[in-house]
Amino acid sequence: MEIAGSMSKKYFGTDGIRGRVGEEPITAEFMLRLGWAAGRVLAQQGSGRVLIGKDTRISGYMFESALEAGLSAAGTDIGLLGPMPTPAIAYLTRTLHADAGIVISASHNPHYDNGIKFFSSEGTKLPDSIEHAIEAELSNAMKTVESDKLGKAERVSDTAGRYIEFCKSTMPYRVDLRGLKIVVDCANGATYHIAPMVLVELGAEVITIGDQPDGLNINDGVGSTMPQQLVDTVLKSGADLGVALDGDGDRLIMVDHKGEIVDGDEILFIITRDRLAQNQLQGGVVGTLMSNLGLEHALKDLDIEFQRAKVGDRYVMEMLLSSGSYIGGESSGHIICLDRTTTGDGMVSALQVLSAMVLQQKTLHEIKSGMQKYPQTMINVKMPRRMDIDGMEPIQQAVAEAETELSDSGRVLLRASGTEPLIRVMVEGRDDAQVSKLARQLADVVETTVSACA
């Protein structure tokens, strides 16, 4: 059995700080203090210039202003990027030599949620030590620097154009997309003005949906977490494939010409096998505790090492760096190609798949063959509060019995949510009926045991 614990920081979770707008900590007051605290800490790391970008949700304007004020009060200069994908902000932070980048986004969540993510000067997620330092600074009284030391703010020009050119550069120069009809779903999010242009400039015929953001419709019935409209549009238009990004552009799900969804595990397999064929694969592949067992077995057949990190792209990144590997990702579509960029990037990942299709002269449906996904069932068990289930004997016994029944053909995972009082019970195996039965039995035992200990 694998058990993943909960976060130890007060505000920062596995993907920054996130919550409902207007409820602590996602308030203008907190963002003011967060900007100040971040400015104080980051000033110790460099000259004190921070970039701020955001997705298209309406609350982004409010939080952008609050962060800007807090950073200025700490004496930090600010570069305002406007609506930009999360990976674009990582790229611009690195290439514009800023000390950090701040992303205002709740990724695939609805418009009434929002959040904050930070990137280091190298375009990677902030290390835990810096997040701890920012949280510690938040407990101090806010003090504004002298007027002649206040930070200045400026708009950064041509951010979209810079990022579009970068995306295009991640494909081999001899490869273009002429002859392909592609539907791209921008989730009414941060890629609405970028993703279609990347594909058009590479020669594809592009049909775009989810490209009319109004501040409230981000991820609403569109995007990588709700791909049905993309499926319908691909089938209706006779397109070769569809590309679905999430609200901030770091997540990718694809759809083949038959309307079949291609998830993050399959995308990871496609990219890895293509790198192997091009003799460009370095090291192994990193997935997470949630990666489908079929991916692990498919990579084993190719004699490629597969490692599992904790859930969260920051942990995938940590394992990639420690193992010397370049390719990793999550089932949800967060794919990291360190041989192309520094963080998970939905558009760059899509281009790697499209490049493989062109080079191999195969359809997306054909190129995903070679990996057989195993049935997987996950049940969320609510808890009255966060609890450590490691020492609860009934749960351990139930897990052991499930693992015995599955033998070598499956696995069991109990994972505490990093943002909610939930235990995620997941069972995976070759037999769908067996998997569903064992997941339900385990969830019942967890719920009963937790209730008795409450």
- Which residues are marked as active site? 107
Q: Which two tokens stand for residue 14?
A: 């596995």
Q: Please answer whether residues 151 and 72 qualify as being in contact, where contact means their C-beta atoms are separated by less than 8 angstroms.
A: yes
Looking from the CA of 210 toward its CB, the CA atoms found within 13 Å total 35
Partners of 252 in the β-ladder: 245
Looking from the CA of 33 toward its CB, the CA atoms found within 13 Å total 15
Instruction: Give the Cα separation of 238 and 437 in Å (integer).
Output: 39
Burial of residue 198 (CB within 10 Å: 0-12, 13-18, 19+) is: buried
Which amino acid is present at 244? Answer: A
Angle, CA of 379, 380 and 385, to the nearest 5°: 155
Burial of residue 388 (CB within 10 Å: 0-12, 13-18, 19+) is: exposed
Q: Please answer whether residues 195 and 249 qualify as being in contact, where contact means their C-beta atoms are separated by less than 8 angstroms.
A: yes
b/e per residue 78-88 (b: at least 16 CB within 10 A): bbebebbbbbb
Enumerate residues 6+ apart whose C-beta is below 8 A from 243: 182, 183, 184, 185, 195, 199, 252, 254, 255, 350
Partners of 121 in the β-ladder: none
Closest C-alpha among 77, 55, 52 to residue 65: 52
Q: Which two tokens stand for residue 368?
A: 């995903």
- Helix (H) or strand (E) holding 353, with range, is helix 346-360
